[in-house]
Structures are given as C-alpha cells and as structure tokens.
Amino acid sequence: MSPLLIACAVFVGVAALVAAIAMLFSRPSDDRLASRLQVFAGVQTAKTKEDLRKQQSLLSKPLENKGSLAEAFLERVPSLKRLMEQADVQIQPTQLLLIAAALAGAGMALGLVLKASPVFLPVMAIVAGSLPLLWILWRRKRRLRAFGAQLPDALEMLARSLRSGQSLAAGFNMVSTEIAPPLGKEFGHVFEEQNLGIPLEQSLRDLADRIPDLDLRFFTMAVILQRQTGGDLAEVLEKIGSLIRERFQIWGQVQALTGEGRLSGIVLMALPVVIFLAVYQLNPDYVMMLFTDPLGKKMLTGAIVMQFLGAFFIRKIVNIKV
C-alpha cells in the first residue's frame, strides 16, 4: 500500500474520531438561567424545585476531594465546555474540535510535503491536533494561578468593605470594579447573579465550581457558615487572606529549592527524543530498525514505558504540595 493511501486513511480516521467527539460534546445551550427564572415565576413544578434543593451542598464536600488519576481524567474529559470557561476562551467546544481536526490535517499534509515516513504521519497529525487542547490547558493554568494571586487582595478589600458598614453584595461589586480580571470578572459575575435573584450561597457554589481553587473554597465555606451561624466575617476574611499570603511565600521558597530537579527532569525527558530525531535525520535506516525488527519494537516499547515512569517519579519528587 502506498504511503499516500496510508496517510489518507489515517486522516479519515482522525477526522471521524474528532467528529464523533464533537457530536458527543455538543449539547443544547445552557438553560440554567432560564430554569431559575421559571422557578421564580412559578412555571416549574414542585418536583423540579425539590430536585434543586437536593443538590449537594458545598459544606458536605471535603476541602480537597482528590480521587485517583482515572477519576480525575473521567471528571475532566466530559467537561470540555467547563474547561474552556475556566480558561476564559470565547469559542464553542465543537469549534475547538474542528480547529483540532484542521490542524491534524495540516500536520499530516506537512508530513507528506516533507516526505516523512508513513510511520510518523499519524504522530504528526496527533501532535498538531492536540495543540488547541494544550493551549487551553496552558491558558487555564495561567488564569487559575492569576486568580489565586489576586485572592488575598480581594479578601482584604471585602473585609474593609464590611468594616465600613457596606453589605457583602456591595463588597463584591467593589472588588469587581477595583481588581482586574480574572478575579474581578468572576466576582462581578457573582454580583450580577445576586441582582437576578439567585441566592448568594448558590452563586458562591457556582463560583467554586467554575474556579477549582482550594483557597476559594475556604472563602466560600466561611461566607456560607457565617450566614448560617453568624459571626465576624470581616475578621475571618482577614485571617484567610493572611494565611493565603503566607502559603504563597512558602510555595515560592519550595519552587526555588526544587527548580534544579524540574530542570533536570525536562532535560532527561527531552534528550532521548532529540537524539532520536537527530539520528533519524542522519541515518533513517538505522532508526527504522526500531519499527521493523521485533527486538527493536520491544526495545522501543520498553523505552517509552520507562520514559513515562521516569516522568511520573520525577514529578512526584519535585511536586511538593504546600
């Protein structure tokens, strides 16, 4: 079979897979706001209202409920839309998947233009097609880090607002206008939901769902507990803000001490790939024995498995939670 036919078959398969995932992720438009407005208007039945009341409360969840890697993967894969919301990307999931399919086709076309081996054509398609998802994950991580860095200032501002006699809703509005995105935008979203009639507890639960930050969950739990039991919320917010600042300081020291280990891990992970590409450029027949000879296939499989194991253990060593 010619390399062109193999490339076309792989492209058709990747396109079909992306189309299937797009159909799986495509859902009707979010009708949560319409549902709540129907509840307020008395349109929905009592059964629907009871189902809304039976939703799991934030207070019944542990502060850091982390399961296995498989559970985390299964929780994130169906939540592509939520992942894009956390990254603040203003496109639909289906559009993202179409862009990924187009990039996969472009990667395969580039391989054909460069006359690469048919073995590398699917790899180039997968790498090019995964670039949008990697960009989403990178943007999400950067946004969550910025949110966490802005949270202590927001809590201190809320505390000062409460001590001056303003309401909590007015404090949210002040934070949304005084602090830049992403925190200002999210707090402004909570303020707008309260203006629409959504209870503050529900708005805070939605905020904790949108922003998976442990410090934010401390804040939401403190506000919910204070509204249920009473207490000096301004003092609690000031203590939480100072605690977050100290934790960030310790985290920075840990990052500085583990920087050498992270850099060593990056070099050790990239070195085999770079050597493989260099040898393939100099002597392709020598490298292709890893794909044609049975012993070469076993060696290649063992090398890939050991690479993943090495990356896992290096990450465990340098990833110190604070």
Q: What is the CATH number of the domain that holds 199?
A: 1.20.81
Other residues' Cβ atoms within 10 Å of the Cβ of residue 22: 19
Tokens of 234: 């301004």
Domain termination site, one of 194, 213, 244: 244
Residues sharing a CB contact under 8 Å with residue 218, sequence separation 6 or more, in sequence order: 63, 240
Domain termination site, one of 244, 273, 307: 244
From 33, 139, 131, 36, select the one nearest 85 (Cα to Cα). 139
Query: Within a domain: residue 36?
Result: no
Angle, alpha carbons 164-168-173 (nearest 5°): 95
Q: Is 271 helix (H, G, I), strand (E, B) or coil?
A: helix
From 269, 248, 267, 257, select the one nearest 318 (Cα to Cα). 257
Using one digit for the tens of pLDDT, what is the confidence trace for 180-224? 999 999 999 999 998 999 998 999 999 998 898 989 998 999 999
Q: What is the pTM of this model?
A: 0.69
Query: Within a domain: residue 134?
Result: no
* 296 and 224 both lie in a single domain: no
More confident residue, 100 or 72: 100
* 120 and 1 both lie in a single domain: yes
Q: Helix axis angle, 284-292 relative to 294-318, nearest 10°?
A: 90
Question: What's the whole-number mean pLDDT along residues 48-53?
Answer: 47
Q: Please give the residue range of the domain that contains residue 275.
A: 258-322
Query: Within a domain: residue 1?
Result: yes
Could you give the number of structural domains in the chain? 3
* 125 and 166 both lie in a single domain: no
* pLDDT at 17 exceeding the cut of 80: no
Q: Is 48 helix (H, G, I), strand (E, B) or coil?
A: helix
Query: Within a domain: residue 66?
Result: no
Rounded distance between C-alpha atoms, residue 31 and residue 48, angstroms = 14
Rounded distance between C-alpha atoms, residue 210 and residue 87, angstroms = 10
Rounded distance between C-alpha atoms, residue 80 and residue 82, angstroms = 5
* 216 and 284 both lie in a single domain: no
pLDDT given for residue 102 in this prediction: 92
* 10 and 125 both lie in a single domain: yes
* 204 and 237 both lie in a single domain: yes
Q: Where on the phi/psi map is residue 88: left (φ > 0), alpha (ψ -120 to 50), or beta? A: left
Domain termination site, one of 214, 244, 274: 244
Rounded distance between C-alpha atoms, residue 252 and residue 255, angstroms = 5
Secondary structure element (H or E) that encloses residue 100, with its range: helix 93-113
* 152 and 207 both lie in a single domain: yes
For 11-20, 144-153, 263-272, 288-297, which range has the lowest pLDDT when averaged over its residues?
11-20
